[in-house]
Structure formats: C-alpha cells, structure tokens
Structure 1
Amino acid sequence: MADRIYLDWNATAPLRSEARAAMMAALELVGNPSSVHAEGRAARRLVEQARAEVAAATGADARNVVFTSGGTEANSLALAPHLRRDSGLPINRLVVSAVEHASVLAGGLFEPGAIGVVGVNQSGVVEPDRLREQLARGSPALVSVMSSNNETGALQPIAAIAEVVHDAGGLLHVDAVQSFAKNTLYIKELKADLVSVSAHNIGGPKGVGALILGEGLGDLPALLRGGGQEQGRRAGTENVAGIAGFGAASRVAMASMVDDMARVEKLRDRLEDSLRQTRGVIVFSDQVPRLPNTTLFTVPGLNAETAVIGFDLEGISVSSGSACSSGKVQPSHVLEAMGVGPELARGAVRLSLGWSTTEADIDRCLEAWRKLAGALLREYDETQLERF
C-alpha cells in the first residue's frame, strides 16, 4: 500500500534504485564469472567492481572481501577453529557476547564445550575489563562482538575490545551488519580481524553479504567446498546480480551516510521525546551511544505482539525485535542479558528509521501510538507503574 509507513529498517531496507539498476544490468549477462571467454570476463568484471566498492566502504583491501549469501553465512564462515594471526598458535576457543545475533550464538564450527559467553551491563554494552578477566582464564580465543545491537542500537567499544583481545593473543570478529552505512566502519580503525556485513540492510538485495578479512590472518577454512571461487574461501558460482546490487548499494549508501544519519537522528530524538510523554515509557540503552536510527521502547502492561499488530492496522510497519525471530513467541535474549525482567521485555517494540523517513512519518507514528497506548494500557492498573 502506497500510504503505508515503514519503520522496520533494521530488519531490512528498501531496495535502492541504483542497486536495482545494477542488478538488472547484471541479469542481462550470460557468462559465468569463472569462465575465461568474453561473456565470463564481463560477469567477472561486475563481481570485481562490486568487491572494490564493498572494500572501499569498509576500508579493506579488495582481495580480502569474501562474498557470501548474507550476514548469517559470513558469521558462520568467520567462526572457525584453528584460525591464526601471522605465525601465532591456532585458536580453539570462542567467546561471544550475550547479546549477539543468533548466527553468532550458534558458535559456527566450534564445539559447544569450547564456547564461552561474556555478559553485558544494563545498557547492553560489553565492558572491556570484564572481557579481559574472562580471557585471562583460558587459552587465546576468537572473540565475537557485534558493533551495534540490532534491537537496542547500542554501540560496542570495538577498538577497546580489540586491544583487550589482541593483548590476550586472540582474534576479534565483528558482526557489523547493523552498523554498515549507519556508522563509520573501517576495519583498520576497528582493529578487527574479521568483519561481517550484509547487503539488504543498506538498500541492497536480500541474500548476499560479505566477510571482510583483516591483514595477516591465516588460512580461512571454507564452509562450502567445491570449486575455487572466492579464492578458495567460498565455493559456488557467485550470485553476480546480487553482488552487483550490493556493490552499488555500498557506494551510494556511504556517499550519503553522514547527511542521512544526521537527519535520521534528529527524527529519532523527536520520536523518543514524544514517546516519553506516555507515563512509564522506557527507552532501552538511551544512556549510551547508539545507532542514530534505532529506538527500542516499552511500557509496563504493554504486549509487543498486540502493539505491532495495532501499528500494522494503522498502516505502520514496526517490529517487536529481531526479524530473524519472527513467529517465535519468546523473550528477547538481548533484554534478558541486560537484566530486564519478562514483564517489561514482553512489551518491547522496535522502531527503526531510514534515509527516506520523513517528519510526516514520525507524526503519523506518534498519532498511532497515542491511540494504541490509550487502548492497550487503559485497563492496566496504574499503581503497577510505581514498581518500575
């Protein structure tokens, strides 16, 4: 519906026109990018152009960009035992933060007994000193910490975490799917060894992503084996159209990121100021640096599923958390790790904005919220608000 308002950008972003045009042009090519004839070379040129565009967006060397089917595969590819940096010893222990995406919490190729979890504070942030203490209790580890949380938007102190990890002889993987093109994300500044990104969160197509490798990393075990595609790191004929769209989206998103995110942050702040006019509203992680486009809020007595349906009936698309958990009625593991009780967590609603969000969109969202809040909270015993 043309009059609908989309406020679920952290789940996926609309396809950019430049990405669509790049994909349509790629679909006209017949060649396999591994073929040496003219048609194959034409397809290869598109793949390598996109590789350069993704590399430029992440401050990486193009040869260190490995295309995958998305962020989940990039994470799984990164989480492999026996990785090493330069001539260091192979690493056989994994430590992940408690607020990671499900694809990281699954542990990749590590055995369950080799996986440890580091907690977060009440704002959902990993404290470097806490991580240092955990790493001191075992052999060097591969540590995986997301750059920003997909539910709360909270940013992690990645550079400080990288220093702790490297001082302990380990490697750092960063799931940067949500930060890509919303925040500066250069692998050398992050001091990360591996970084995962995805196309559909920045206006590229669904079903394509990349793992970015840092310098000096040893051999990366392939998840998919067969041909020698992606320098032997990921077998299978490349998704040429998807990769072309990814490259175009990376180029355009980075060119407009500073202006887009400055404008979006002002909209987000106005949205939150108005939401707080409802008695009892809690905005999670609002005391720490966050993505400029993300609001996760709740109010005692609210049921998130009911609220999401209510917004939908008003023509507004929002979320109750990660899109990867859609259809699963369960508490947010992110809020649980932050120490949020189930009564508050069950009402958490996420609003995430993007480059085309307007002042009028925020006005309509707030109008819908006032209507919903009155209906959904009317019967809630207001004396219960005093407990929160």
Structure 2
Amino acid sequence: MNTPKIDIADTWRSSSPTAGVPDLLIEREGRMQQLDGQLNLKHDFGAVGPVDCPIAYDPVRRLAFRYVSAAGYRGRDYSQLRAFSVAAGESYSLLELPLNQWALWMLEWIASTQGAAGQLLGLHAMDRPGEDRVVIEHRLFSLKLGADQLRLRPICRDAYKPLAFSRRRGEFIFAGAEGIYLLGLKGERQLTLPPESDAGGEGAAFHPSGAAEAVIGGDGLHHWDLERNLCRRLTRNGRHPVWTPDGRGVWYRESSADVHYYDFEQDRTHRVLGLASQRHPEFWHARPVCLSADGRYLATSLTHKVLRGVSQKGTATGTRERVYAHEHQLLVLDLERQTYWGRAGYASQLCWAQ
C-alpha cells in the first residue's frame, strides 16, 4: 500500500522526531498500545474490545484508564474498567462490571486539588430488557481508585451523546434527539442551544479558561455564548473542535483527511495539513486532534479513501458498488518548531502520556 502524500502549510517541514517528545497511548485495531516519541511500539497492553471509550490519564501516577470488554465469541466474557501502568508496562482491573453494563464515549481523569487520589468520571450504559424491546439507560458515573462500586447519577431526558466536559465549570455538553444541551454535574439540564442554530453536534469544546464559551462542531463550527445563550457560526465546515490551551484558536477537522485551524483574533481559518488528491473525502475515521498538556505537540490520524474498482456482483437493483480502500497515517506535529513526522497506521483513540 502506497503512503499518501501530505500537503502542509508552507512554513512547515518534515523532520525527524524532536528530542524529549512524550510517549503516546493509542487504540489501534482494538488494542491498547504505547508508542515512544518516534512512534515506535514501546508496549502492547493487549485487546480492549469493541466499545468506543476514550483513554483517560493520571500524569502523577502515570496510569492510563479505559473500559475493556470481550471482542468476540472466543474466551470468557468480561466487562471492566482497567488501569494501564505506563512506567511498568502492565495492566490490572479496577472494577468488574456486570455483562449488561459498560462505559462508553466519555472517560475523564479528575485529579484532586487537595492531594487525594482523584477519580474517574464517565458515562455508564446499561441495557434493561423489556417485554418487546431492550432499553439502554445512560447515567453519569464516578469511581475513586480502590472503591468497589460506581457512584451513579441520572441524566436528564434525551441527553444521549456526550460532546465535552469542563472541570473548571463542572458542566457537560450533550447531544440528544431534541437538540444540544448544557448539563450540570447532577445531570440536570441547564441550557439548550437555540433551536435556530444548525450545529450538528459532532464534537464540542469548552473555553480552556472556564469562560462561559463553547465551540460546537458539525455543519461548521459554532460559537456558543453560555451566558446569553447566543450562537453564531464561525466556519462553513468543521467538526471535532479542540480549543488551544491559550484560547486563541480551535483545531478541527473537515474530513478524515485534513486538519484545520480557526484563529479567533483574525476571524480566519486555514488548512494546516491534509492528504493530496483526496477525491473521495469521508468522515467516518475523523477524530479530534490530541494536544499535549503544554499545547506543544499535536497527534492525529489521517485517512485516504481510494477507489479500487467496482464490485463484480450487482446489488438488488442491479447496480454495481464501488469498492474503496483506506490508507491511514499517524502523525505528530511539533507546533513550536513547525515540524512533523509520522508512520503508517490508524489510531481511533489518542492520549499523551506525559
């Protein structure tokens, strides 16, 4: 498979990895892996299963956390929250869950401000079989290290997909069938995005300072003033926004094959990098970029969708389907030196291990 060519802004250049780049934790093909700064495999922690759950990280104990479950029919079923030691290259179970319960879409490590152990915060899901259907119930959960059970809190009606969490504000942004909502720590709805806004709810980010601002992705980037409940469109296209630590701009994606940056001061956006000759853009593999804690390094995956031909067998309507292949690149950008390096492969979850 050919390595797709990368188009990048004029001031950038390809380079060898910068000295002192932290390790990177990734989920690749259902396995948790630790890469060094050169993107070489340092440790494979094993399978984590098919459930979509982010990687949380405690920089003090150098522990990563993720939900893990069985990936197929072979072997025993399991459902658990698990810890991964970056220093020791080993993992252990934090908590076993019943097989009808799991954690998905959101997992955050909340460090204590008073020297305590800290805790995990996430979204808990449980299926409740009914007479003619299975109902999936979502609740917020927290787990202190060493505790033997989750602390669960209900979520207001219709809040379904978590988009962002702000520890400074103690608030969440959720998407649901009736709109996009601001939620408090007790799961109560505090605000609803104005109905005239056409934000698609594909990712969100709170202002890093704790100011009453957020950016919503999907059908463009949208700035949400949380004090006045006003929303304005920033860009025509855009999803998966990530606010810079200094609050001056937002990194975002237009497709799985590019990375863009919006500058608030200039009210201008520009394409930082992307794959050349992307004639068949797609969005399925697009994920938020991952910024290091100091904002210096950015990690992301790019996906090139390539037409390989047409299937020999027709569909039910008699038409033949186009056959596509996907070529992936995992990249790291040094935003200070404006250099980048990469390797072939895709990471569905990314987390810096600093």
TM-based fold match above 0.5 = no
TM range (shorter): under 0.3
Task: State TM-score, norm by structure 2.
Answer: 0.25
Structure with the larger strand share: 2
